[in-house]
Structure 1
Amino acid sequence: MTDTPSPRQAPGGAGRSAPARWRLLAVVAVTAMTSAYFVLPLDEIGPRRPVASWTLFVLALAGVGVLMLVQVREVVAGGTRARPGIVIPLLMCLSVTIFAGAYYALAKQPGQFDGLTTRIDALYFTVTTLATVGYGDITPSGQTARVVTMVQILYTFVFLTAATTALTRTLRGRLGERMAQSRDVPSDGPS
């Protein structure tokens, strides 16, 4: 008898399933993104290097947007290469950290934000804007801060909504498959 791993088991007989590895990778990636947000020298960008700051912001958002659209296209096309259950939430987390970094760097410029002074403030403002809560304790008062906030709102409408819809579609499809499989499995008890 050969020791062939099941499709859900990792090659090499390690006993860890592929989904568990992907979940572990996702946790590591979120931890790395969050750590990078708090460790990267964001004070060096912003008003000190406006061209570099805007270039980095636009390229990062464009890159995440393209990656999200690739995932959405794969889901809509019924592709099997994508892992939307892992990749889409990671890209959403990355977009939150990009906006939070932009807000933090922008807050270094006087008159742009009222109430935003720390990285936690920037992350908090990003999440409350994303959730359309808007408590009013942090407000974009400068024109540039307002434009970036509008970009985040539009970005959320276009990219994050499409990505969330694709993710929901994938999860519903998987749930439907599992329910169908459970109905097809004969019970062990007497009929």
Structure 2
Amino acid sequence: MVTAYFLLPLDHLGPRRPALSWTLFGLALALIALLLLRQVVQVLLDRPEVRPGLVIPLLTCLAVLVFATAYQALAQRPGEFHGLTTRLDALYFTVVTLATVGYGDITPHGQAARLVTILQILYAFVFLTAAATALSSHLRGALRRHESTHRNGAP
């Protein structure tokens, strides 16, 4: 996915096609959110066929790349970002924002850039936190079942 992020021709997004850019951004985030929520519900219902250990990290990575793409597209508009000029800068800013580190070397100045940054923070609070909680719950349950099986003498 990261390789695709760096290789896909994303230069057609941004200020030249704002309606398309915002539509794709919204649709991608909505789809990822729905898929994450589906995984969370399946974990909470304790469905045995669910495999969140693979799906949740992939969807989380995809969400990061969607936000990085949005930041890169926004950076093409003058005045939106200070210090963001490359795709790596956009990915770096996304991860720094997600980790709530905020080094300050890349800063959103424009209203659209600030809006997307706020959306990323809220998205992380709601969807990524729920997904991480579900994943850790699933892993704790699997560990308890594994320990119980070995404690009862099963091979």
**Are residues 1:149 and 2:117 paired?**
yes
Q: Compared with structure 1, are the counterparts of its residues 81 and 182 closer, same or farther at alpha carbon in structure 2 (3 Å cutoff)? A: closer
Counterparts of 1:186 and 1:170, CA distance in 2: 21
**Are residues 1:73 and 2:45 paired?**
no
Which residue matches 2:17? 49
Structure of higher CA gyration radius: 1
Which residue matches 2:131? 163
Which residue matches 2:27? 59
Query: RMSD of aligned C-alpha atoms?
Result: 1.2
Which residue matches 2:56? 88
Counterparts of 1:139 and 1:92, CA distance in 2: 23
Q: Higher relative contact order by CA 8 Å / sep ≥ 6: 1 or 2? A: 2
Counterparts of 2:14 and 2:144, CA distance in 1: 48
Deviations 1:45-90, CA, capped at 9 Å, x for gaps = 1001000000000000000000000000000111123211110000
Question: Which sections of structure 1, spanning at least 5 residues, go unmatched?
Answer: 1-32
**Are residues 1:177 and 2:142 paired?**
no
4+ aligned runs moved over 6 Å, structure 1: none
Which residue matches 1:4? none
- Which TM-score applies when normalising by structure 2? 0.97
Counterparts of 1:56 and 1:65, CA distance in 2: 14
Counterparts of 1:36 and 1:186, CA distance in 2: 45
Of residues 65, 69, 79, the one that matches 1:101 is: 69
1:145 CA drift (Å): 0.1
Q: Compared with structure 1, are the counterparts of its residues 118 and 171 closer, same or farther at alpha carbon in structure 2 (3 Å cutoff)? A: same
Counterparts of 1:86 and 1:50, CA distance in 2: 33
1:186 CA drift (Å): 6.9
Deviations 1:1-36, CA, capped at 9 Å, x for gaps = xxxxxxxxxxxxxxxxxxxxxxxxxxxxxxxx1111
- Secondary structure of the 1:146 match is helix
Q: Compared with structure 1, are the counterparts of its residues 113 and 176 closer, same or farther at alpha carbon in structure 2 (3 Å cutoff)? A: same
Number of aligned residue pairs: 155
Question: Which sections of structure 2, spanning at least 5 residues, go unmatched?
Answer: none
Of residues 121, 129, 148, the one that matches 2:89 is: 121
